[in-house]
Amino acid sequence: MSKHYRIFEHRRVAVLLTFISGFLDGFSYLTQGGHFVGMQTGNLIMATVHLADGKLAVASTYLPPILAFLLGQVIHHFLREELMQRHIHWHRFNALLILLLTFVTAVRTPYVTSNVTVSLLSFVSSLQLSTFTKVRGLAYANMMMTGNLKRLALLLTKGISQKNKDLLTQASHIFFAIISFALGVYLAAVLSKSYHEYALYAVLLPLIAVNVILYFERVE
């Protein structure tokens, strides 16, 4: 018998989430002074490079998004425990929270410093990364693609060598997630050239789509 997965593990949700992550990182890098909101490794690298150049003030601007990302992990831990005790659908709750915070950020971005924008989006990215961790039972990252590239190579190698269709199907899930992330970055680059910080409003559409999908989930 085929397995039944919760809606938040379906591939269409994973594709939307990776698209959102790609868009947010592309947007922040292009419009917020080369800062990242999801890829904290990039922020650490840039901070260290500027520090080595003696640019302490510039290096310090990469600290707020890193701290905001860490705070997101802490909040997610306690929030999940509280929601589960109250028997609240925490995937749905977090998805709505992410949408609302992103909307507030889009409204405020033209009027606040880049540190505020990047920190808010880093907090959002942290929540998203921890809330959605699997696609059809397969662990994946909806934000940073290094691990997904590793999984893709491994699944393809084993699937082809063992002639295992299930492994190849899993590889296709990861492949579409990677492509969707790249498309998110591409669209962010295109829109940021014309609309600058107002381009952030575009990411609200896939976020709304995720919330609609989760809202209509049937709990068996």
pLDDT tens digits for 71-84? 999 999 999 999 99
Class of 8-213 in CATH: mainly alpha
The answer to whether 35 and 153 have CB atoms below 8 angstroms apart is no
Return the percent helix, strand and coil in the chain, to nearest 5.
Answer: 80, 0, 20
Question: Phi and psi (nearest 5°) for 22?
Answer: -60, -40
At a CB cut-off of 8 Å and minimum separation 6, what does 116 contact?
108
Nearest by Cα to 110 from 29, 25, 201, 186: 201
Threshold 0.75, pTM exceeds: yes
Question: Phi and psi (nearest 5°) for 46?
Answer: -65, -40
The per-residue pLDDT for range 156-198, each reduced to its tens digit, is 999 999 999 999 999 999 999 999 999 999 999 999 999 999 9
